Structure 1
Amino acid sequence: MDSITHLDGKAAIVTGATGGIGAVIARALAEAGAAVTVVGRRSEAGEAVVKDLPRASFVAADLTDRDSHRRVVDTTIDRFGRLDILVNNAAAHTSGPAIQGTEEDFDRIVALNYKAAFFLTQAALPALIASGAGRIVNISSIGTIKTFWGAAIYNSSKAALDNLTRTWALEHGADGVRVNAVNPGIVIDGPMSAPVQAFLDIERDVLPTIPARRLATAADVAAVVTFLAGPGADYLNGVIVPLDGGLTA
């Protein structure tokens, strides 16, 4: 095991982990040695993720329900004895011009992408501080740095999450907690790539703008999350990582 990413003896929560990027992140953290709480709404999918992991449990939760936050944290501590890592990955998306955005869409996206991350982190912080080396990794979006058409509500909710990343880093750095964000570009095997690909020609419109000439993968995201969760990233705090193949270079 690489010493800069080994997570033996650590316990993690990964939200939105019943599939897509979240499930890949959960597996990567488990492979690095962490016990993992997989959080999501879909019980059957969540149980399928944890059954192949050495130390993992599934907690069914709708994170837009404030009562779920303490339950997720308490269940993790009850099962694994501690909490060291929180990955705020759960998110909602919509696509279309801002002028067509509805209040229903706005409330749904902000409730999960921003409000739920805020209050779940608030519930988790005492345990992360007690860990002595707590890690929070927020999964944001390259759309907060280089915006794109049709994602005004989503991108602005993730921009709020970027600001929380920096604020929590400032407030809790002295407590030993490190808070960083990963801002992926379009993730080819991520569930939120479909709306983007529906109105963009990837080959024509997107790939020529990316120096790496490919889209991100869930494995790319998981690799950066695992690094940020490990001891090798101890002096990284309040950093927004543009995982975009050079798009914003």
Structure 2
Amino acid sequence: MSPGNAQVAVVVGTDPVAPALARRLRTEGLRVCLVGADPADGAHADWALPGDPTDVDVQSRVVRAVVDRWGRLDLLVVHTPEPAPGSLLECDPIAFRALVRGWVAAPLGWAQRAYWLAMADGGGRVLHLATTVGAGRVALGAAMLRGLTGLIAAEVAPEVRVNGLTAPQGTDPELFADLAYLLSRSAVASGEVVEAGTAADQLEQVA
């Protein structure tokens, strides 16, 4: 793919999965804007922008800047923060609001801005990535993200395909990134969230 018609991706995340995915996408010929990662990880992308990924002003500014710079946005990937473990019955209101903000409000905000500012006319793909464990507030966060993915997919189909990928806590960031890339190229039905198991199972699901 020549630089003039290269696809454009925005990858959002504050942990090692996001820069690993940015690096993988670049090797496949995409132009990549990395948002919210450590400044040292900026070398893995064509463009690195700072800011809190949950801030709606940052979301709007980034999408507009990417479209102004490259004229398009084909792929948005948002890796939600891993919430603190713990019992839901012991979760105080501040911690619960943070959970909703990170796992629902922020992914929704990014999808809204990507759609209305870039993808409504040209199409595209949105991926939600999440690390999960089996119980408590992390499990609730994953359930929220799954529902959100399906709801967004129903509204933006068929122009935009929306999917999710969940991986267990401790999954190697490079493996997580490779699987996310495969999902971004797959024909998995819009609205589906792929659950990562063993590496072989994951590859079969998104091949």
1:15 aligns with 2:45: no
Among 144, 150, 157, the residue aligned to 1:173: 157
Flag structure 1 segments of 5+ consecutive residues without an equivalent.
2-7, 188-215
2:145 to 158, 161, 175: 161
Paired residues of 2:76 and 2:127 also in contact (CA < 8 A): yes
Counterpart among 156, 162, 174 of residue 219 in structure 1: 174
Q: Secondary structure at the match of 1:167?
A: helix
Q: Deviations over 1:77-130 (max 9, x none)?
A: 122221010101131411222332221211122212211111111011131233
Equivalent-residue separation in structure 2 for 1:52 and 1:183 (angstroms): 23
Q: CA RMSD in A?
A: 2.2
- Is the counterpart of residue 184 in structure 1 residue 174 in structure 2? no
**Pair 1:235–1:113, CA change in 2 (3 A):** closer
1:70 aligns with 2:60: yes
> In the TM superposition, what is the alpha-carbon distance from 1:52 to its structure 2 partner?
4.5
Residue 33 of structure 1, aligned match among 24, 29, 38: 29
Q: 1:236–1:224: structure 2 CA closer, same or farther, 3 Å change rule?
A: farther
Q: Show the counterpart of 2:205.
A: none
Q: How high is the sequence identity, in percent, across the aligned residues?
A: 26
Are the equivalent residues in 1 in contact too, given 2:128–2:165 (CA < 8 A)? yes
Contact 1:15–1:88 (CA under 8 A) maintained in structure 2: yes
Aligned residues: 196
Q: Which has the larger radius of gyration?
A: 1
Question: CA deviation digits over 1:185-216, x for unaligned, max 9?
Answer: 122xxxxxxxxxxxxxxxxxxxxxxxxxxxx3
Contact 1:85 1:128 in 2 (8 A): no
Residue 162 of structure 1 deviates from its aligned partner by: 0.8
2:11 touches 2:78 (CA, 8 Å); kept in 1?
Answer: yes
Task: Give the TM-score normalised by the residue count of structure 2.
Answer: 0.84
Closer, same or farther: CA 104–35 of 1 in aligned 2, 3 Å: same
Which structure 1 residue ranges, 4+ long, deviate > 4 Å from structure 2?
none
Instruction: Output the amino acid matched with 2:97.
Output: D
Q: CA deviation at 1:138?
A: 0.5
Q: Distance in 1 between matches of 2:7 and 2:181?
A: 12
2:124 matches 1:128: no
Question: How far off its partner does 1:57 sit?
Answer: 0.8
Distance 1:178 1:51 in 2: 29
- Alignment correspondent of 2:43: 51
